[in-house]
Structure 1
Amino acid sequence: MAIITLTRQPGSMGDEIGMLVARRLGYVYYDKKEIEKRIIAKGLPREEFVKFDERKPSILDRFTKNRDRYLNYLSSVILEIAKEGNCVIMGRGAFIFLRDVPNHITLRFVSTMKKRLEHIKEVTGITNDKVGEKFIADSDKRQRAFYKSCFKYDLNDLSLIYAAINTALCPPDMLADMIVAGITSNVTPKIDADGRKRVEELILAQEMTNKLIFENGLHIDELWVMVHDKRITLHGLTSFHATVERAVTILESEYSGYEVQSEIHCVQDTRFSKA
């Protein structure tokens, strides 16, 4: 079993190659439509999904809890898909949520502007080059803004990517064959078992995040819960030490047998202080 996540430049044929890989491996392919369906089924209104999905949110939405709600639903769905295994997930920041899972492989597809423009014109029906180039530029801008706003991640940074593949240099069928061969020959039973364990820990960490933020209403910005073996580590920002103590107490009482350690920083909110 492997978990494959993909990102692609619009027009690079990443979707087509991703579907070929899934078909040849017998995996399930998850694109925007499938992920949207799962998120909305969990209770997030479709209008909220559209506001944030691979686009830059408005200034108002960036400073409300709406983005956090969207990311919470998105993370839950990505982790559920990963637990099911044998999957290929396109976009949506999936590779960031799964970045330290041993049986997770992430690839990025890129191409030349000429090839991207040819493909965009083919699939959209656009006939004018200038219109096609603007379509690509706008899509690139939205994609970059989404990753920067939601994950503080620069798409030009390849440090989390196994390989960036130039699809202009090789036919899609050949690229799919190369990817499938690499996965089937390198994902061993041990790597698979380690990956399953790590996904379970990530799901548990997500559950803990929900408990602290949504069930108990604790005000911790950028909360990140890490679970490794029997240790829980909390990261984030808050204004009160009492909030940190409350978070630790909740997790210790709810998850006996786990050691809870806080790395949450307490900062003074000076926005309303007098000079």
Structure 2
Amino acid sequence: MKTIITIGRQYGSGGREIGKLLSEKLGIGYYDKELLRKAAQDSGLCEKVMESFDERPKSLLYSIAMDTYMFSLPGMGATDSLEQQVYLATFESIRRVAEEGSCVIIGRCADYTLADNENLLKIFITAPMEQRMERVSQRKELTRDKAKQLITRTDKRRASYYEYYSSQRWGQVDTYDCCIDSSLLGVEGTVEFIAKLVEMKEK
């Protein structure tokens, strides 16, 4: 039996690191930025354009500014939205990697995209703001105030993206199979905990 693990995460909670270590522990695929590269290759969209829209809410002004790019892409006309094409390309890549076998997928509405997959395990990683500020300030070499601003801005962006495309509440408990505060067990302890969940699910 294969298990597809999707991880939503508050910025600075360690969700990405947890996902990476979990994939290594279980010996399964890991997809984060890799999804963008795969989506770009499969769709013909520029990878830089994919990154520009990655987990970002709709931006009318930016979409208008990028409209001319659409005319250079085969099969796309004036009525197509570049942002929509990026989302659909990512959506298709998520579906493809899930079909290939067990894996960990970070963010990008993967839990919603794969909602009909019976092998899905939906995880959301949280942590107290103080701990997230400490992690981000060290990683990005920012003051605590600047780190908090970045955290707030990034979480707002992720929530807007998720809620726009899924019509579900980002971070709401009943949206996921399990919500975990990574500060309780630490990164490695959280990895062990999720690995146990996977083991129980596959029995």
Q: TM-score, normalised by structure 2?
A: 0.85
Larger Cα-atom Rg: 1
CA contact (8 A) 2:7 2:124 kept: yes
1:1-275 alignment to 2 at 5 Å?
Answer: 1-31=2-32, 33-42=33-42, 43-59=44-60, 61=63, 65-126=81-142, 128-188=143-203
CA contact (8 A) 1:52 1:146 kept: no
Secondary structure of the equivalent of 2:173? coil
Q: What is the CA distance between 1:144 and its match in structure 2? A: 1.3
Question: Whose strand proportion is higher, 1 or 2?
Answer: 1
CA contact (8 A) 2:37 2:47 kept: no
Question: Whose helix proportion is higher, 1 or 2?
Answer: 2
Q: What is the CA distance between 1:10 and its match in structure 2? A: 0.5
* Larger CA deviation: 52-61 vs 22-31: 52-61
Q: What is the CA distance between 1:71 and its match in structure 2? A: 2.0
Looking at structure 1, the residues matched to 93 and 181 of structure 2 have their Cα atoms a distance apart, in angstroms, of 29
* Amino acid across the alignment from 2:81: K
Unaligned runs of at least 5 residues, structure 1: 189-275
Looking at structure 2, the residues matched to 134 and 68 of structure 1 have their Cα atoms a distance apart, in angstroms, of 28
Closer/same/farther in 2, CA of residues 87 and 64 from structure 1, 3 Å limit: same
**Dislocated runs of 4+, deviation >6 Å:** none
Residue-by-residue CA offset, 1:40-82 (whole Å, 9 max, x unaligned):
1121123431342111221253995223212221111001110
Residue-by-residue CA offset, 1:132-163 (whole Å, 9 max, x unaligned):
11111111111112112333332143333001
CA contact (8 A) 1:3 1:88 kept: yes
* Amino acid across the alignment from 1:38: K
Q: Report % sequence identity.
A: 27
Looking at structure 2, the residues matched to 133 and 72 of structure 1 have their Cα atoms a distance apart, in angstroms, of 32
Looking at structure 2, the residues matched to 156 and 171 of structure 1 have their Cα atoms a distance apart, in angstroms, of 19
Unaligned runs of at least 5 residues, structure 2: 65-78
Looking at structure 1, the residues matched to 38 and 111 of structure 2 have their Cα atoms a distance apart, in angstroms, of 18
CA contact (8 A) 2:6 2:110 kept: yes
Looking at structure 1, the residues matched to 189 and 84 of structure 2 have their Cα atoms a distance apart, in angstroms, of 40
Q: TM-score, normalised by structure 1?
A: 0.64
Q: Which has the higher contact order (CA 8 A, sep 6+)?
A: 2
Secondary structure of the equivalent of 1:171? helix
Looking at structure 1, the residues matched to 166 and 119 of structure 2 have their Cα atoms a distance apart, in angstroms, of 22
Secondary structure of the equivalent of 1:133? helix
Secondary structure of the equivalent of 2:7? strand
